[in-house]
Structure 1
Amino acid sequence: MWQQWQRWSVAAAAATIMVGSLGGISVAHAQGGMLPPSMQQGNVTYVSGGIDSDESGAFKREASRWPLSIEMAARGDGANEYVADAQVQIMQGGTTVLDTRSKGPFMLVKLPEGHYTVKATYNGKPMTKDVNVSGKGHAAATFLWPHD
């Protein structure tokens, strides 16, 4: 009797793990991808990317959960085109709190409450936006460079 119960317990545990694993895959697939790993610079955590459609879907889905979202595009022939490899700086007062190169058109940033200036430079063309990050809500900065 003990051996039968032990075999049943092992089988039940294996089935639970298998269903949980498959369920996790299904949920991730249904949600349209996952964010890339987050990075840290000082006390600022950020994630950058969104080049493929699955990853861009994840950024759009997760944006409201981060204090600041940044989106970058350039005017194209008839449509806007997402850009990558823009230099992004976030400053508070005269202090730079984040200085990095984007890995895609989206950045999500966790930083303390306050007033910030976001500067994004693409193809040598800088643009700036002022944002207020508060404990309630979500701030966004969208950069749209003119067509070359």
Structure 2
Amino acid sequence: MKANRLFLAIVFALGGGLAFAAQIEQPAAKTVMHAPSGVKYLVGGVGDDEKAALDAVKADYNCRLTFAVKMSGAYLADVTVRVVNLASQAEVLNLVVPGPFLLANLPAGKYSVSAVYRGEMLTTELTIKANQAREHVFRFAQE
């Protein structure tokens, strides 16, 4: 009887430990979002798990934006981003990014991309071509 209890205790401990280890090793799952314009995007990157999850899928997105401080390189969160198609003047994205990364799938075209952090606005133009990804880092003066 004692041997059976010991065996069950060992099996339970090993099985529970394996399940716990499997939960730790898996990166945080991200939910794909869709803007009212139909543009598919992901945001986040706070913490190593979120960054790893975004890195794992970034090849699926043709617009990759990063938000950081100019001097220190520290990542920023809560940046307001607006993306406008320059040909049609249609707004394709307008959101607050809760982490330092925004991945988006934009149709081919030219876009004005504005990012605002604590009142500081930075703007750039990006040309998205078919089968080609663009990356841009917005570097803000303040933390």
Normalising by structure 1, what TM-score? 0.72
Give the conservation status (yes or no) of the 8 Å contact 2:77–2:100: yes
Shift of 1:113: 0.9
The aligned counterpart of 2:48 is 53
- Pairing of 1:32-43 with structure 2 (within 5 A): 33-41=27-35, 42-43=37-38
Normalising by structure 2, what TM-score? 0.75
The aligned counterpart of 2:73 is 80
What value does the CA root-mean-square deviation take over the aligned residues? 2.1
Separation (CA, whole Å) in 1 of partners of 2:110 and 2:122: 17
The count of aligned residue pairs is 120
Gaps of 5+ in 2: 1-18
Q: Deviations over 1:86-124 (max 9, x none)?
A: 000001122211100001000100121111111100011
SS in structure 1 at match of 2:50: helix
The aligned counterpart of 1:102 is 97
Separation (CA, whole Å) in 1 of partners of 2:52 and 2:141: 25
The aligned counterpart of 2:7 is none
Gaps of 5+ in 1: 1-21
Shift of 1:49: 0.3
> Percentage identity across aligned positions?
24
Separation (CA, whole Å) in 1 of partners of 2:28 and 2:134: 21
Q: Does the C-alpha gap of structure 1 residues 72 and 147 become closer, same or farther in structure 2, counting only changes over 3 Å?
A: same
